Amino acid sequence: MDPKPRPNHRRYIEALRAMTPEARLQQAFDLSEMANKLFRQGLRERFPDLPEDEFHQLYLKRLEKCHNQNY
């Protein structure tokens, strides 16, 4: 049994099933892009004075920690 109530989960699954494969893939890309932007924004808020080149290196280093190393 799911300990966290998700009252709209069934609707969400139905909406996904109604989408074309292309639309589901586009939604996955959109969600990935949004997560990436939020990740960068949060990192920038933590390091507002870091020069852009150093920030980019930090971003890449932190992003690498997020990736699954099993593939």
Angle subtended at Cα 63 by Cα 65 and Cα 71, rounded to the nearest 5 degrees: 60
Higher-confidence residue: 53 or 65? 53
Given the structure tokens 């609707």, which residue do they identify? 11
pLDDT per residue over 2-40, tens digit each?
A: 678 888 999 999 999 999 999 999 999 999 999 999 999
pLDDT per residue over 34-59, tens digit each?
A: 999 999 999 999 999 999 999 999 99
- Give CA–CA dist 17/28, Å, rounded: 14
Contact 40, 48 (CB under 8 A): no
